[in-house]
Amino acid sequence: MFEVNGTYINRRGKYTVLSLNPPKMQVRYEDGEAAELKIAIQARIWENILVEQEAAAARRSARSAQAAGGSKTQYFIKAVTVPSPSEFAFAGWSERVLMAKESEADMLQAGDRIIYYALETQTFVAVATITGAPKTADPKDFFYTTDLETACFFPIDVDAASVKLSTGVTDDSIELESQPNFRKLKLAPEDFLKINEDDFELLAEILTEIAESDEDEEIEEEEFEEEDED
């Protein structure tokens, strides 16, 4: 993955690889500071940054398509049910698809932004962007348990997600201007709830901070474990 004289990025900034001596490498940052970094950890960080860049490009493309068509970004909360709250996994998540009933599909479009809300833990847990037109399929193909024989599935890019459901934003810790009675609503799995841009940006900012904090903690734990092994 890494090459001598290649330029890469981590959370500290941009750096150039000076030499490769597995499992570590010597690098120099733009400010001239040299460092010795573990290749495996930096590879993971670099891959995550590339994914983030690709997601940002997809969002820009979707918004450009919207602008050309005169459409406007919409913002929704998507209620989901998680079979095992101890694991961050639910139907359609690993496949990066968003399910909508065929009667609801017309209200969604590429570029719309989604906040996922886990019903079991009552936490907002992820931010996503719809990146394309829907396809009709059997929900069971994406591990949904439903009486529907067909539904519409939109492709999504995940912008930010908490590592665990419990580390998401609890619904009693935030007030939504566009949905002031949110906690009193009886949402069902797969429901969509429209919100305004301000509410979306508030939730998205907090979830992004949580995701970055979770990632930093994981990296620190891995570095500690590797140093302990050394």
What are the tens digits of pLDDT across the range 27-84? 999 999 999 999 998 998 898 888 777 777 776 676 666 556 656 899 999 999 988 8
Amino acid of residue 17: V
Give the SS3 label for residue 52: helix
Q: How is residue 176 written in tokens?
A: 């939504």
Q: Residue 102: phi, psi to the nearest 5?
A: -60, -30
Nearest to 75, CA basis, from 202, 175, 209: 202
Residues 216, 11 contacting (CB under 8 angstroms): yes
Q: What are the structural domains of the chain?
A: 1-70 (2.30.30.140), 73-214 (3.10.590.10)
Helix (H) or strand (E) holding 76: strand 75-80
Angle between helices 197-229 and 39-69 (to 10 degrees): 170
Give the Cα separation of 132 and 134 in Å (integer).
7
pLDDT of amino acid 74: 95
For tokens 């079991």, the residue is: 120
> For every one of its 230 residues, what pLDDT tens digit does the chain have, with 9 covering 90 and above?
899 999 999 988 999 999 999 999 999 999 999 999 999 989 988 988 887 777 777 766 766 665 566 568 999 999 999 888 777 889 999 999 999 999 999 999 999 999 999 999 999 999 999 999 999 999 999 989 889 999 999 999 999 998 888 888 999 999 999 999 999 999 999 999 999 999 999 999 999 888 887 665 655 555 555 555 55
